[in-house]
Amino acid sequence: MKKIFNYIDGKLVSAKNGDWIDNFEPATGEKYSLIPDSNAEDVEAAFIAAEKAFKSWSVRPVQERSDIMLKIASLIESKQQDLAEAESIDNGKPVDLANAVDIPRASSNMKFFATGILHYASESHQLNEVAINYTLRKPIGVVGCISPWNLPLYLFTWKIAPALAAGNTVIAKPSEITPMTAFLFSEICIEAGLPNGVLNIVHGYGPKVGAPITEHKGIKAISFTGGTKTGEQIAKVAAPMFKKLSLELGGKNPNIIFDDCNFNKAVSVSVLSSFANQGQICLCGSRIFIQEKIYEKFKSEFVKKVKKLTIGDPKNKETKIGAIVSKDHMEKVKSYIDLAQQEGGIILTGGGNRTIEGRCKDGYFLEPTVIEGLPYDCRTNQEEIFGPVVTLNSFKTEEEVLMYANSTKYGLSSTVWTENITKANRMAKALDAGIVWINCWLVRDLRTPFGGVKHSGVGREGGFNAFNFFTEQTNVCISY
């Protein structure tokens, strides 16, 4: 059985207690590897290594830090196929998706922040003839990066890259559900010559590894992506310790289709924004609001296209819908489909498990599910399901749909489909969301602020926002 190891002080090691956690392949339901069942002792070892490494990494010329990170990026590129296959096996996502999105984005993250740091300048303010100020930006120290399972290497690198580029040393905790590519990444860091202790990866459960990272007095900042409930727990611990905190949390994103939209594009992109990665992207639009006049036409075209999505072995080229990440998560998503029916919802397509013959017969497959007839304020339309389940809802006016869209506790992203630019701008301003896509979805420019409002998070990542988070400022005022 393949073993995944922690990466501490430049070495691949098991947990100090020698315990292991089973890791499953969602497409087959079979155990296929073991990960260290680490705890606070391993976090402490990582901290000692990171604290020591900070002394040299933080003062290393920025060009040298950048060069090492670029080497890591090019190694990711040279191992793209292996990494994509590993991601697909570990997560259940179609290998084509991992190849097209997850792995290229991981190397882009490294390249983007490795080169971005070369352009990150200090500010200077002149106060008439009295004084001149300059603002130093200093790395914080040892920081914690905690990431989820849905886009494993993509989000793992999104966090650690700006932290490292800015001169911090890092203790990272990937999700225990999808640890494989973070482990392969640690092998890449060794190959690239990343100095010992600069990045430390501790595997294991959230309460046993994530919590000790959050609670550690020496870890100065936490960048977390995951569920809103976990974010609350982290904030409760970190706030009284005055740690810097970046929280990227859950969503229940509206996808708003006005009757003056480009209909064909709205339908086909909505299929993607509903079901890409089995609906397990925080930015998926799970509540589709369609203007009354085109409701029936949209419903019929959308359902027709959803029925054609190929569900199957993530290894197959033609697969569009792979496996749900874990048995527990599949049960959670199914419980929401049951709830939707209890709340009066009508299932237009999907609604249950799909058995895939052959090697995937015991895998965790769910049909993409489309539901209509639910009120905007029922639980199905208010709570994050994070799976291949969307609701169709009709609306008459702009005011009405804004009320529906903004009615949840979340505010991550929104999508608006209209050819009327004035209306689009009005909507963008009025929606409670950190990100609004007009006539597109998941088009990402890494320079833009990324994050949510309300219970979808605190702070912004992306571009210089990430460097601002991972540095402290000291303003120096010099009298003339």
Binding site for ligand NAD (CB under 6 A): 146-150, 155, 173, 175-176, 206-207, 210-211, 214, 225-227, 230, 233-234, 248-251, 282, 384, 386, 412, 452, 457
Residue 194 phi/psi, 5° resolution? -60, 125
Closest contact distance (angstroms) between CB of 350 and ligand NAD is 21
Residue with tokens 């963008």: 428
- Give whichever of 201 and 348 is closer to ligand NAD, judged by the CB atom: 201
Angle at 67 between CA 63 and CA 70, to 5 degrees: 135
Closest contact distance (angstroms) between CB of 367 and ligand NAD is 21
Half-sphere exposure of 100 (CA within 13 A, CB side): 9
DSSP state of 420: -
- Give whichever of 157 and 291 is closer to ligand NAD, judged by the CB atom: 157
Nearest C-alpha neighbor of 284 from the set 450, 454, 430, 412 = 412
Closest contact distance (angstroms) between CB of 440 and ligand NAD is 18
CA dihedral 202, 205, 208, 214 (to 10 degrees): 70
d(CA 364, CA 92): 9
Based on the residue annotation, tell me whether 248 is a catalytic residue of this protein. Answer: yes
- Give whichever of 110 and 201 is closer to ligand NAD, judged by the CB atom: 201
- Give whichever of 225 and 414 is closer to ligand NAD, judged by the CB atom: 225
Catalytic residue among 25, 87, 176, 248: 248
Would you state the structure tokens that stand for residue 405, as one six-digit string? 């869209």
Closest contact distance (angstroms) between CB of 97 and ligand NAD is 15
Based on the residue annotation, tell me whether 378 is a catalytic residue of this protein. Answer: no
Would you state the structure tokens that stand for residue 38, as one six-digit string? 């680490």
Catalytic residue among 145, 261, 282, 284: 282
B/e letters for 335-350, b = 16+ CB within 10 Å, e = fewer, are: ebbeebeebebebbeb
Strand partners of residue 12: 7
- Give whichever of 149 and 302 is closer to ligand NAD, judged by the CB atom: 149
- Compute and round to an integer the Cα radius of gyration of the chain: 23
Closest contact distance (angstroms) between CB of 340 and ligand NAD is 19
The set of catalytic residues is 248, 282
